[in-house]
Amino acid sequence: MTDSLRIALAQLNPTVGALGANLELARKAMADANAAGADILMLSELFLTGYFPEDLLGKPHFVADAITLAGTLAEETAGGELTLILPTIWREEGVLRNAVIVAQGGEIIATRFKVELPNTDVFFEKRYFAAGELPEPVEINGVRIGIPICEDIWHPRVCAALVRRGAELLLCPNGSPYWTDKQHIRKELVRARVREDNVPLLYLNQVGGQDELVFDGASFAIEPGERLVLQGKSFMPDFLVSDWLRRPEGWRCAGEDIVPLPSPEEAPWRAAMLGLRDYIEKNGFKSVLLGLSGGIDSAVVAALAVDALGADRVHSVMLPYRYTSGESLRDAEACARALGIKHDTVSIGSPVEAVTAELGALFAGTEPGLTEENLQSRMRGLVLMAISNKFGAMLLTTGNKSEMAVGYATIYGDMNGGYNPIKDLYKTEVYNLAAWRNAHLPGDAKGPAGEVIPQAIIDKAPSAELRPDQKDQDSLPPYPVLDAILRALVEEERAVSDIVADGFEYDLVKRVEKLLYIAEYKRRQSAPGPKLTERAFGLGRKYPITNGYRDGSGR
């Protein structure tokens, strides 16, 4: 039995499916832990496969390869004092599990299985795994360690059972994605478990972007008394080493090492930045391209891209037509100059006029309208995709959540692109983040400090500029009003009658509800983007396209 433990938490950025690369990350962590004199090293949930591998788990060879590599890593603990806690997939008697293996001296000394399999929001583990029974603690160097896995700590019975069976410390590996306030929600959850069970809990989270999910790290530890004693970096890899001592009242941390959390304004910017960076780099793209219109959305996307990748990997293009204002031309150029990115202008006038002429006979006798306006957007999308194809740059699309909610976007036009960094930000949030970014340089950003989004862009009324003097509010309510109604309908799933009771006009709420439902087919074809809220379109909110329901309440 020992009275001290040095515990290392490897907050790393694995890539789903990259078994060999993840194995090397684990080996490096083991070397770092040995160099630090750690007794225990823990990796994050499903580390070798990456979280979450989805239907890769239906490929027998993938499962077999992952299990083999887990065994290989266990063998590599031979000849040292380090105990490895490796979360991995594991098959026992033909049943696939979300598991941890505990390896020491070159052998697997214990396996434990996740009890509570999440099956809500972005999680669907019951599709792949069988749940485990309530686990026993694992004895490491004479200390009984409980290892609840991620969702297990959201259910008091798992930690309670571990402590009842003798656990003196709880070590929890996680694959917990970011959304608004999630860092504080986790901390309150762990405080509740520590308060109930009176033992310390060390919470390890992974970091990195995975398609629409962003994992923010921010690993931490809380000891009895609800005292935060350890907290790692947010949105960046980290390696946390802490010393724990056995005292009369139980195990306590020997010191404090706390990295402050980012502010509520910085966190969504950092999340969007990380999601974009990893989507580009993990998929092998060298650079990105976007249409820079002189409007707020494309300016914010350009700033995010520069912060994520650096100015030399970002290319913007202005695509003017007869309705493009001189102000927009100047603002786009000023934004590109402030960010230090390559900026080109390609007029769409001739190709739009040519298509319009070719359609003239077919459209004879009809009035010009939305169809002709959308030709402009679709021509811009065509030109941008041509540049993307020619130079191999990933095209970023720039529609915000407000626009995507009500279908204020042109499919096969401004929706063209492979990734959308602001897909889960309402228009009002885009404005707020633009002002915040001009006053702050986010941690690990590669962009310049200072005003990178010209104030003229923030100040002017938003417009698609598809007809003379067009403004968004010609077709939509003011964005503060629209966003409030959308939050009630999307995030809160509130009834029309409740929203009307808040002071909104019935006809307006019903109109927004109708637009929300009929735009579902567009959203199904939209580019992925980072999930920044609890109810992101796509991964976090799935509605049928063919949907006859309409809320009849409110009048």
Residue range 504-532, pLDDT digits in tens: 999 999 999 999 999 999 999 999 999 99
CA nearest 142: which of 308, 343, 332, 1? Answer: 1
- Percent of the chain having pLDDT more than 70? 100
Q: What is the pLDDT of residue 465?
A: 65
pTM value?
Answer: 0.94
Asked about 150 being catalytic, the answer comes back as: yes
**Measured between alpha carbons, how far is residue 449 from residues 403, 411, 441 in Å?**
29, 35, 5
The answer to the question of whether 291 is labelled as a binding residue is: yes
Q: Is there a cis peptide before residue 52, judged by omega within 30 degrees of 0?
A: yes
pLDDT for the residue numbered 549:
85
Per-chain mean pLDDT for the chain: 95
Residue 410 has pLDDT above 90, yes or no: yes
pLDDT band at 108 (very low <50, low <70, confident <90, very high): very high
Lowest model confidence (mean pLDDT) among 146-150, 258-262, 350-354, 367-371? 367-371
Distance from the Cα of residue 405 to its chain's centroid: 19
pLDDT in the model for residue 165: 97
Per-residue pLDDT for 107 more than 90?
yes
Residue 398 in marked binding region:
yes
Nearest residue to 82 via CA among 134, 36, 147, 113 = 36
Which residue is catalytic, options 28, 59, 81, 114?
Answer: 114
Q: Is 114 a catalytic residue?
A: yes
Q: Which of 116, 125, 150, 429 is catalytic?
A: 150
Q: How far is CA 107 from the centre of its chain?
A: 36
Q: Please report, rounded to a whole number, the percentage of residues in the chain having pLDDT higher than 90.
A: 90
pLDDT value of residue 314: 98
Start-to-end Cα distance in the chain? 70
Say how many CA atoms lie within 13 Å of 45 toward its Cβ. Answer: 29
Q: Which residues are within 8 A (CB) of 71 and not within 5 positions of it... i.e. 6 or more apart?
A: 108
- pLDDT exceeds 80 at position 97: yes
Q: Please give the CATH superfamily to which domain 266-471 belongs.
A: HUPs (3.40.50.620)
Tokens standing for residue 297 = 């959305």
Burial of 329 (C-beta count, 10 Å sphere; 0-12/13-18/19+): middle
- In this structure, what token pair is assigned to residue 283? 């998929």
Two tokens at 440?
């702050």
Residue 538 labeled ligand binder: no
Q: What is the pLDDT of residue 121?
A: 76
Q: Does domain 4-254 have CATH number 3.60.10.10?
A: no
Q: Which tens digit of pLDDT belongs to each residue from 177-231?
A: 999 999 999 999 999 999 999 999 999 999 999 999 999 999 999 999 999 999 9
Q: What single DSSP character describes residue 449?
A: S
* pLDDT at residue 93 in the model: 86
3-state secondary structure 221-246: EEECCCEEEEECCECCCEEEEEEEEE
Which phi-psi region, left, alpha or beta, contains residue 281 (left: φ > 0; alpha: ψ -120 to 50)? alpha
Express each pLDDT in 276-303 by its tens digit.
999 999 999 999 999 999 999 999 999 9
Report the pLDDT averaged over residues 478-500: 95
DSSP states of 154-169: GSHHHHHHHHHTT-SE
Model confidence over 229-242: pLDDT tens digits?
999 999 999 999 99
Is residue 126 part of an annotated ligand binding site? no
**pLDDT surpasses 80 at 470:** no
The C-alpha atoms of residue 44 and residue 58 are separated, in whole angstroms, by 22
Per the annotation, the verdict on 159 as an active-site residue is no
H or E element in which residue 513 lies: helix 506-518
- 297 annotated ligand binder: yes
pLDDT, tens digit (0-9, with 9 covering 90-100), for 414-425: 999 999 999 999
Domain boundaries, given as residue ranges, for the chain? 4-254, 266-471
Angle, CA 416 vertex, CA 415 and CA 422 arms, to 5°: 55
Looking at per-residue confidence, does 92 or 146 come out higher?
Answer: 146
